[in-house]
Homo-oligomer: A and B are copies of this chain.
Amino acid sequence: MATPPLSTAAQTFGERVRAQRHELGLSQEQLADECGLHWTFVGQVERGRRNISLHNILKLADALKIDPAELVRGLQAPSNE
């Protein structure tokens, strides 16, 4: 069974990364190469398994050619989920 996401916010963030990656027709490896992250890290982010840092949010947004605001808009802090 897949390990659950860290939070609803991390899950939604990951879904947005995956959707935009698909929009650009990139594989996880290609996205990872573009932003200097490991492809397994990108996979974990997409599955909501990472409490990602600001700098990595910005690297992903750059490589995904979107404003970082679009990745975090409306997300709620985990209330101790």
Contacts and interface: CB of A to CB of B under 8 A. Distances in A.
Interface of A: 6-7, 9-10, 13, 35, 51-55, 57-59, 61-62, 67-70, 72-78
A66 B60 CA distance: 23
Contacts of A76: 58, 62
Contacts of A51: 53-55
A31 B69 CA distance: 22
Nearest to A45: B54
Contact of A53 (B35, B52, B62, B68): B52
Nearest to A59: B77
A54 B55 contact: no
A74 B78 contact: no
